[in-house]
Amino acid sequence: MSDERISAAEQAYYARLAAEVEACDTLPEGSVVTTGVGDAPGREFLSQFMTPDELDAAVARGRGRPRLAPGSGQSPRRQVRLPEDVDAQLMARAVAEQRPVSAVLRDAVTAYLRAS
């Protein structure tokens, strides 16, 4: 089960972008943190990772990651701890399928619940 509203290439792009932004643990020299309104503060930060055309396209799509289901609001988020061997198998499968780990987990949970 995959998200048919965005392509695999777009999913990979968003995953790469999220990893880059999340890895940025320091602000650029001279940065000042203030409360912002609207898209300007986010655009300024993301401009170091995206071209102006990519920024415009992201704003046109809306804020945040794409929803997993129709409607408004956020998709619920769950966290799980796994034994090391299960995690290794999960990571290997995601790499082999060239998919995000979260997509492999969603499909596994969906298949499990449909089977019960």
Q: pTM, whole model, 2 decimals?
A: 0.45
Residue 78: helix, strand or coil by DSSP? coil
Enter the tokens of residue 57.
């396209």
Q: Which of the four pLDDT bands, split at 50, 70 and 90, describes residue 66? A: low
Beta-carbon contacts of residue 46 (< 8 Å; ≥ 6 apart) = 21, 55, 58
63-68 mean pLDDT: 67
Q: Is the pLDDT of residue 89 over 90?
A: yes
